[in-house]
Every structure is written in structure tokens, then in C-alpha cells.
Chain A
Amino acid sequence: MSHAFNTSEIDQLEHTSGQTLYGDGALVVLKGLLEAGISYFGGYPGAPTANLIDAAADAYEPVLKKYGVYVESSANEMSAAAMCTASVFAPVRGAVTWKVLGNGVSTDVVDHVSQIGPLGGCVLVVGEDYGVSSTTVAQRTLPWAMKSGIIVVDPRADQQLLLRMTRESFELSEASTSVVALLLRPQLSHANAQVTVGDNRIGQYNVISKLKEGIKDPARYPLPPNTQRQELERYRDRLPKAREYIVQHGLNEIFGAPDAPIGIITHGTVFNTVMRVLANLGLADEDGVTDPAISVLQLNVVYPLCDEQIIDFIKDKREVLLVEEGQPDLMEQQIRALLHQRGIATPFHGHDLIPGVGELVPGRVLPALAQFMARLLPDRAEAISATANGYVERQKLAATLFPKPVTPRPPTFCTGCPERPVFSMMKINEMLTGQKDWHATDVGCYGMAGLAPFHMADSNIGMGGGLAAATALSAISEQKNVSVVGDGTLWHSALNTCVVNGLYNKQDATYLVLDNKWTAMTGAHENPNSGPQLTGQASGGVFNIERTFKGLGVKHVEKANPYNFRDFQKKLKKIQADPDPQLRVLISEAECQLQRQRTVKPMRAKAIAEGKRTEVERLGVDEEVCVGDHSCMRVNGCPSLTLEESPNTLKTAPVAAIDTTCVGCGVCGEIAHAAQLCPSFHKVTVVRNASRFERFMQRLSERLLPALRAA
């Protein structure tokens, strides 16, 4: 199936030198990979680089296949990283991608690839995501990469530069026999712009024109006696070569006169924020021209730092400010150590002035930069402070206009989602019995159960570790443990980390497997359960969750359809009542509604247009029967279940209503049943293109039953 890109977008990947491409950062990176001549690509989807997986999947048939690129739907980040071994034992280029959390999953393998050193360019496109809209715990790639000797490319937010840096990453990797991590931040990945492209290259060896055999070299084996030598090579030969390449090819940039008295050092997309703040303070324009007193050193490569370049920049300046985002602030520590070693006395500032923890959004950079500049440019201090204060005043005014803060809008399960009813049932059981279980959730859409209205995810501890998170906890607590996992996460790592671990250690827990056939949270990606691979190629195996559990020796396995409330409730109660202290599994099987609708909607429209008999179902709420208590909202939260003014002017509460986005799953009605809420819900089934007999029966019942007569 197509993911996020249409044909005309994908076609641009074949554009040649001088032509343009319009797209997001992911499409630009993929174009860069083609221009670099990669032979393999893989990875695991996750924000903010899930769209790179989408682009590669959508481009496989029309483009990548022709170029002989091997594209893998990696089972997890470790599998993806292991694929990079190709570059270690063959002169081929390749790239893999994952979100920043994938660094940790891949570490063991990446460490080995990095220590031996790739011969062909090897690039990890990491979804760096330190920001406020991030879906991960806060962390930077830099410390992880440094301990493994991985080069870190962190481009500023400019798609044209991103295209160049993607190509340069391979050159840099080959020049230094090192792995390169290219940070694709959301500011780049989710930005749409137009770039001028170059020509694509075909890798020397690939799926079509094959290599005879891999390079056999005992000296490259990453165990003693080779390890110490490889470590020496890495720091004595390889990384210095990287520094050389970075300087020679101008990967870092200087804006403004290099000998200006005031220096600012930036990295990644922080550069854009700094330049904009300078522009707002009247100290730069928007073409990258700075005030004559200021020059900016933008580090597009943050590891290794090029000592001489940095010394040259700092040594004759009046003062220098480093704007580094986040912790640990290893750039600042390295630069301070360097200045100390070389005995350079230039006053150097970093997190003493700039907020040291958290994302550097403009509102946090502006006051700090204004203060720094006002001090160094006394003749313009007044204007700078006035401008900065103007912004602050404006924000204060805005705040006073909202005595009641604007209600937050947390994300929620989609309309008709098969996962919501599972949490509704558990919430209803909790309401009716008062028994509170410990909900150890995992990483997937179902993590949203931790938000309103359910609040039924007590721990959420990293992908594939959900159930394992409750081992000691359930052993030392009287609370029963219910853990939730999705099919995507199960095949990613939970099968081993949780199921094998739980069985082996006789864990007493209920494991709910929400099998919706997709890795849905990342924006619908195929996984082993879906059938085909991401690229549309056939899968080599038939994956069956139930058989897998039984094969592993799980004694109690149940399977139910979450839309069939009564049956599901019965099985849920049964499995929770099982007195045997063991791992019990309930598989909730129903396809992701978002994906289902993508196929069902057009099919239904087509059937109706062709005159085929079609039943269209949608739920409704009787506005007169609804009392406006909103219990239904608190145990459901379907986006299509909304509010309307009560028809009774004496009622103070709005009534529930169902809008036209309802997909007719019937869960709200089932909830009204299960929780004994109210009799307001009803399902309306309309038959399009009905037979004459059916129409006759309808007329007959309308004739017989007075209330039904159409007005």
C-alpha cells in the first residue's frame, strides 16, 4: 500500500542535476541517498523519521528496485544496524534509520560496526527529537555517538543544505572509515520546501550487479588481539581524518566577517533560532548577513569538533557565546577544556547565559541573547533591550487576556479504534468492582490510555519492555498485573524481552495483545503480522500470534473480538480469574480502524454508485433521552462522540451527540450496556439500493406504525 507519498512526489526522486524537488526532509534525504549511490536501506519507523521509511517504501517499486537497492523492513533497530555490516565487509554504501530511542536498541551491534570501521559509506539517519512535541524521553544522540566513536552530522534547518549533508555524510564516512549519524530533527524532517537536486548514482555492487564475495580479513575481527589496535586506529587515524575532511570541505560554516569581535557558536537547527532572534534584535537580516560586529560559527558536524577551526574562531574575539541545546552539554565541556589546554583567555560563555536544560525555543533564547548583546554593544543597548522587552510585554498582555488557560487537547484513540473498547471494558470493570489492577503498558497507540479519559497506563517503560516492567513489581505487590502490548511491539522485541522472560521466570500476569495488524502509532506501517513487507514484497513467513504463544508453552491463551463486548468481557474476566500463577494471554484481534476505513470507505462508495445493496451503519444519541451526565465520555472518549446544546432550555449541561465521522463500530452503545449508563444510544442502519421487497416491507411497517410515517 502507499504510505505518505503520492506518485508525483516519488517521481521527483529521478530528477537530474539542476531540476527541483518539492517535499519534506525525508524525501530530500532519500534523494540524497540516491545521489550518494546506496546499495541497501532499512530501519524501524518512529517519529520524526517514520516518513523516511514511508518514502523508501513508496519509492521501492518505481525507483529503488531499478537501482538495485536492497530495502529491508527491519524487525527492529538492532536488525537494521546489523545490516550495516555490508559496508564493513564490502565497498558498498548504505543507510538505516530510526528514532532517537533506536540508538539504544541498536547499540551492541553499532558498537561493533563502528569499531571495525566501514569501508563503504555507512550512515545512520537518526530522528533526533529533543523538543517539546517529542514522543520520547528527552535525550541527545551526541553522548551516545561519542562513546562509540560515531561522527555526528547535525545540519541547520535548510533543505538544500540537508541534501548536501546527506551526500557529504557518505564521503565523510569513507574518508574516515567511520560510521556517521545524520541527525534528522523534526525541524528538517517535517519541513516542506523546494530544493535543486543532483544526479543519482548506482552503487558499484547491489542486488542487480552482485559482488563475488565478502572481504575475508582476520585482522578485522572485533575481538582480542585486535580490539586494542582497532581502538587506537579509531582515535589516532580515523577521527583525525574526519576532522581533516570536515575542514577541507567546509562542512561547518561561518556567517559574517570571521574577524568580527563578537562570536557565536551554534549547531543543528539552533542556528536558525539564533539567526532569527538576531534579526529580531536588529543584528542580522534574513539572508544570513550579520551585523559587522558579529560572526557566527555554525557547526553542522558536532562530533568530532575540529579543534583548530574552533581555536581560530575564538582566539582573537572579544567574547564568544556557545548556544548549545540540551544535556549533557558535551560541546561546551570539550570547548572549555580545549581553551584551557591552549591557554586562550577569550571570555567564553555557554550555559551560564543560555538555558542549559530543555529545548531552545525562540522565547527562551531571545532574552539571553538580548542581554549578552546589550552588554557587548553599549551604544545599541537601549534599542536591543527595548525590542526584547516589547516581545515580553506582548506575551504578558496575551497572558492577561486568558484568565482561564486554554484547555489542552491531548491526542486520543481514533474514531472506531479497536483498542479503545479494551480500555473501556477495563475501566468499567474498575468502576463496577472497585478493583484497581496495575497496568503496565508498552509503546504503541495504546500508550494513549495513559491520558484522559482512561488514565489506565501506570507504567510505560520503553519499547518491548512493558510486561517485563512488572516482574519485580507484581512479585512484591498485592495488585494484579495487566499488561498491554500491540502486535508491532510484540514482533519488535517484546516476544523475547517479555514473553520468554515471563514464562521462564513464571511471571503471574495477564498479557493483553492488541493485534490490529499494523504498526499503527507511527502512522500505519506493515509489520510481520500485516502480511506483506513495507515495500509491498511478500513476506517469507506466516506469523500467527496465537500459535506462537502456544508454541512457546503459554498454557492459557484466549482470543476475542473487542467489538463483541459480551464475549470479550467474559474472556477477560475468565482469564483474570485464572488462579494459576502464570502468564495468561488474551489476544484482542481487530484491524486498525484508520487502515480499515482507507479500504472500506472507497469500496462502499463504489458499491453504492454501482447500485449494489449496501448497509450503512452509524450510531446516534437521543438528545431528549440524554441527561448530560457525560459518563459515556469518561469511559469512551471517541472523537465522533461530541457535545451539543440540550433541547431542554432548563438543563444546564450539554447533551452527547455523535457526528457524521462515526464509522458505526457500535462501541458506544455496547459501553452504555456494559456500564449500565443510559438508554440514549441507538444504531441506525440504512440500506442503499435495497431490493423492492425490502422497500415494500419498510413501507408496510411505516403504514402500520404511526410514529414512523415520514412527515
Chain B
Amino acid sequence: MPRQNRATRILIGTVGGQGGGVLSDWMVKGLINAGWQAQSIGLLGLSQRAGSVIYYVEARPHGDKPPILSAYAVPGDVDLLLSQEFLELGRLLQGGFAHPDCTIIANTYRYYGTLEKTPAEGGIYPSGVIRKAAETLSADSYLFHAQEVVAQAGLSLLSSNAVLLGAVVASKVFDLPAEPFHAAIKEAEVGVADNLKAFDLGYRMMRDGTLPRALFKESEVLDWQQLAQQREQALPQRRRSDYRSLLDQARSAVPPLSRIFAEACYRLLDFQDAAYVRDYIARVQEVHAAETAKSGSDSSIVTASYAQHLANWMSYEDAQRVAQLKLRPERFAKMRQDHSVRGEDPFWVDDFLAPDPPQIYGMLPAPIGRWIRARGQRWRADFDHMSMPMRVRINRPWGYLTMSLVAAMRHLRRRSLRHHEELILLRRWRDAVLHWLGRDATLGRLAADAGRVVKGYGRVRDKALDDLWMFIDQGLPLLEQLSAAGSDAAAVGDEALKLLASEAGKGAACLYLLRDRLAAALPASSAAA
């Protein structure tokens, strides 16, 4: 039978606590004001606390009979998918709700969930997947960063929901006048002035075709020259010429690595001095020489990995480095901006520092540091793990002075115990990279790439180092066997490193994974044999 009086279906994806209730209320009240019959339903559960919350609206112009509405959306039968946040759009699309002729209006703003934030790496869901899905499932999608749009218009960020509503009302799904919705916004008594302006903005942009089809807030990717220019500007005047010549030197050594060098030379020059950067370049060249010998003159994959992680490792975060970074004028300028400190508003900054003894005696010349460590460990077994929490008010004279002293210790860094120990660790990693590179280019690349897990402070960094040596000493031999058994060592190795990099202390889990893969690969290959 023919379907008369079909209600328009709108599914709204939101994050709990972000005003989804207000948004759906505006919509329903506005539709009622416009002479429609409308109903919304929000399924909250516990999710009002930053979980996923879906609202569903059904509406149609007033008829003679009350409509029989559905409380739930039917997959494949939604006319408008509206989302306050981009991952939530992904959730709706994945649910298969989009109708072949549906319109999608979504905020590309990302509000990361707990499960995206907990892994150290690779936790953030790729927006590209959601964008592709939206553009595949609908011929009429508007994906734009609503907060950016309202901010550019000088409106409060909280009015981003109203800009979305304006776009919805003017879209082909409704194409209704604005007044009934103005009334609804006024009635709700939430940020009325800005919300009205934001609504009109969205409404107008949809009407005159200026609403972006795809606007993502992404930092632009700089090429190496732009990056080098920015980094040079960040250095004090007297070090800029050093930077330029060091960068030239590095680039002439391994030209394809310009972008890595633009960052690395800046970081290491800032960390120590020109000689330190030259040492870095020499270390990179050593691996590059081995790689070209192994894989031919135009290969630099292993070198790239090594150069990237070596630069991070060589600018390790000792107490001197932390103090240096915390005293940057840029840091205080950023704070003034982030915390909207106006002109002469007094403000103070309390830094939460929790150094352990190794971070403190590590700053001292190696013999003295060793002596203190020996004494301390004789005094108590957990000496190295003692907690020394302190709060330092860094922008007041006493805190500033203390931190300046610590930062100044970086001039003695080359003689410090910590530096001696780092050099030994770096040598061990370098030897491993060269060893495995000699055996197999892929395994060499994995050995270099494993350097990325080395990060953190104190206990966390100790765990990360354990992970690294576990991977190098036990993981790579397993990967070699896997390769011999005909498996794709590169893919398995990358998977293992992904696990390793997700959290310090995953070394054992990583080895289990490799042993499992090997066990799975072996019978197949022996059967083939």
C-alpha cells in the first residue's frame, strides 16, 4: 500500500554532557512551533557521563490523525544523520542507519573517549574512515568543524550545537523558516544571544551554499623547508647560523631525511650544542653506510627510523632538560593565552615534580653520582624508587632560581652519570641495529623502529627499556624464524611493535604474540616441507 504521511526521521549522535538534550529539544519544539507533530527520544542509560548518547526525532506536518511513531530508528531508514561529534557519526554509519537518499550533517570535532586515550599510540580512531563511509553512504553530506565555524564568527564555542541546528532547518530535509526555531531557542533559556546568532549562521550558510562539504580541523603538514624555517625562528639569534650549517651538513649526508633532520638538529642543538648535533649526524651516517652496503645506495628506510628515534633518545628528558623546558618564555606566553590571563592579572604556576633519586644524582658528575648511588642503596634497598614529590612555584623568585640552577647543570651534562649511562644504552641499540641490518634489511628496520618505545620518566622508562631489550634480544630472533618459516616478518613485526608501543611493560605480551605467530606458522611450513 502507498505510504502516506511518512514521518521524517532524524538520528542524532552525541556525547553525554555535551548538550544533545538541548539540541533535540530545540528541534522538536521548533517543529511543533512550525505546526508539525514531533517527538524526540533520548536513550541515556549511564551514558550521560561522557558516554555515547543517541537521540531520535520523528516529525511530520500536522495531519488529521495522530501519527504512529517509532521509538527506534530502523537501520537503513533515516533521512537525516546529525552528529555533534565525528566518532559518533561513525557509530551511526556503522549501525547501517543511513538511507540511500539521506542527508548527513556532522561536526568533525573530535572528543576522544577513554579507550582512545589509554594506549600510548594508535588509539585515536582515524577520521578518514568515517569521512569515506559518510561520502559513500550519502550523496549529500556536510562535514564541518562547528566549533571552528562559530569561533570564526566570534561566538562562544558552546553555540556549536545551534550552528548545526540552523543547517538542519535550512537543509532539504526540512527547508523551514527560521522563526519557529528562534522561538524554541529563546524558550530554552540557554545562552540565547549566541545560540540565535549561531543558528542564523548555520541557516544562512546552508541556504547560500557556503556550508562546507568537508572541513576538518587539521594541522597543515609542513614541508622540510617550512619546518626548518619555523624551528630556526624558535632558536635564539646567536644559534641560528649554527642550525643552518648543521642542517646542511646532515642533509648532504642523507638527503631524503631532510624533514627528520630539520626537527632533529633543532632539538639537539637546543638540548646541548653544535658538537652534540655533529655526533648525532655521525651516528646516523654510520647506520646509513651499513644500509647502503646492504640494500643499495638509494635505500634509507632503516636510517630514517633510526634517525627519528635516535633524535628523541639523544634529547632524553633528564632533570636539566625538564627545567630548561619549563623556563621557556614561550611556555609562559602559552599559559597566558590558555588561561586567558589579562594584562596585569597576577598568576602563579605550581609545577608538580616527582623526581626519584636517580634523576637527581644522575645530574652529577659520574664518579660522584655512583658514590651517592652506592651509599643510598646500602642505606635502603628501594633507594632508587623513593618518591620525592614537590611542588615548585616556578614563576616566583625562589622556584625560578631553583629551576634555573637545575637547568644550568646542562652545561655539565656530558660528564654526568646519566649521560654516561645513556651512551652505553645507545651503543647497545646501535649495535643491535647494525647486527640485524647485516642479517636482514627488514629485521634491521624493526630493530631501529623499536627505538620508539623508549620514553617516559623513572620507573616507566625503566620498563620501556626492558621492553626494548626483550624485543631485540628475544623478539627479533623469533621474527627471523618466522621469516624462515615463510611468514611476513615485516607485518608481524609491526604488529608486535604496535603492541609494545601501546604501554610500557608490554614486553612479555609482545613475546607471547610472536611465539603464538611462530607456533601457527611452523606446522604449516613443516607440512609443506
Contact = CB atoms under 8 A, between A and B. Distances in A.
A191 B71 contact: yes
B501 to A, nearest CB: 7
A414 B16 CA distance: 10
A221 interface: no
A372 interface: no
A650 B349 contact: no
A409 to B, nearest CB: 4
Nearest to B260: A650
Contacts of B120: 628-630, 653
Interface string A635-665: 0010101110100111111100000000000
A445 B46 CA distance: 9
Contacts of A705: 395, 397, 400
A339 B342 CA distance: 80
Interface string A678-692: 110111111110100
B115 A408 contact: yes
B322 interface: yes
B74 A276 contact: yes
B216 interface: no
Contacts of A673: 352, 354, 387, 389
Contacts of A624: 325, 328, 331
Interface string A399-427: 10111111111111110000000000000
Nearest to A277: B74
Interface in B21-74: 24-25, 28-29, 32, 37-52, 60, 63, 65-74
A476 interface: no
Interface string A375-413: 000000000000000110011111101111111111111
A362 B73 contact: yes
B96 interface: yes
Interface in B146-191: 187, 189
A22 interface: yes
B235 interface: no
A658 to B, nearest CB: 9
Contacts of B119: 630
A648 B395 CA distance: 25
Contact of B263 (A399, A650, A711): A650
Interface stretch (B86-94, B201-209, B284-292): B86-94
Interface stretch (B1-9, B295-303, B412-420, B470-478): B1-9
B5 A709 contact: no
Interface stretch (B427-435, B456-464, B512-520): B456-464
Interface string B335-361: 110111100111111111111100000
A196 B113 CA distance: 42
Contacts of A8: 187
B71 A291 contact: no
A642 B113 CA distance: 9
A402 B346 contact: no
A414 B50 contact: yes
Contacts of A674: 387, 389
A283 B73 CA distance: 18
B116 interface: yes
Contacts of B97: 398
Given A687-B345, A701-B396, A193 B38 contact: yes
B75 A395 contact: yes
B317 to A, nearest CB: 6
Given A287-B63, A697-B346, A634 B503 contact: yes
A686 B72 contact: no
Contact of A684 (B124, B129, B309, B339): B339
Given A406-B125, A409-B50, A648 B312 contact: yes
A548 to B, nearest CB: 29
A522 to B, nearest CB: 10
Contact of A677 (B50, B311, B354): B354
Contacts of B114: 409-410, 412, 451-453, 633, 637
A622 interface: yes
Interface stretch (B130-138, B243-251, B439-447, B482-490): B130-138
Interface string B497-511: 000010110000000
B143 interface: no
B354 A409 contact: no
Interface residues of A, number: 127
A405 B94 contact: yes
Contact of A695 (B37, B48, B88, B344): B344
Given A186-B43, A627-B317, A690-B346, A366 B74 contact: yes
A676 B458 contact: yes
Contact of B339 (A276, A398, A618): A618
Interface stretch (A100-108, A173-181, A267-275, A497-505): A267-275
B504 A643 contact: no
A620 B459 contact: no
A190 B346 contact: no
Contacts of B100: 394
B528 interface: no
A400 B400 CA distance: 57
The listed residue with most A CB atoms (<10 A of its CB), out of B96, B97, B400, is: B96
A394 B118 contact: no
Contact of B117 (A193, A363, A643): A643
A710 B389 CA distance: 30
A672 interface: yes
A361 interface: yes
Contacts of A157: 69-71
A110 B331 CA distance: 65
A158 interface: yes
B15 A409 contact: yes
A429 B329 CA distance: 37
B118 A630 contact: yes
Interface string B247-285: 000000000000110011001000000000000000000
A699 B344 contact: yes
A685 B395 CA distance: 11
A226 interface: no
Contacts of A413: 49
Contacts of B6: 279, 286
Contacts of A575: none
A47 B456 contact: no
Nearest to B39: A193
B200 to A, nearest CB: 24
B227 interface: yes
Given A192-B28, A406-B125, A629-B456, A401 B75 contact: no
Contacts of B187: 8
A687 B344 CA distance: 10
Nearest to A669: B352
A694 interface: yes
A285 B64 CA distance: 14
A537 interface: no
Nearest to A698: B346
Given A411-B50, A679-B354, A191 B17 contact: no
A126 interface: no
Contacts of B25: 192
A679 B355 contact: yes
8 contacts: A193-B38, A286-B7, A394-B98, A404-B126, A407-B115, A452-B114, A453-B118, A633-B114
Query: 6 tightest A-B contacts by CB?
Result: A395-B96, A411-B51, A187-B71, A276-B70, A669-B352, A398-B96
Interface of B: 1-7, 15-17, 24-25, 28-29, 32, 37-52, 60, 63, 65-77, 87-88, 90-91, 93-98, 100, 111-121, 123-126, 129-130, 132-133, 136-137, 187, 189, 219, 227, 259-260, 263-264, 267, 308-309, 311-312, 317, 322, 325-329, 331-333, 335-336, 338-341, 344-356, 385, 387, 389, 394-397, 400, 452, 455-460, 464, 501, 503-504
Given A391-B74, A648-B267, 19 more contacts: A47-B44, A135-B46, A190-B44, A191-B41, A192-B25, A193-B40, A279-B3, A285-B5, A286-B5, A287-B5, A397-B136, A398-B137, A407-B116, A408-B113, A409-B15, A410-B115, A452-B118, A453-B118, A639-B17
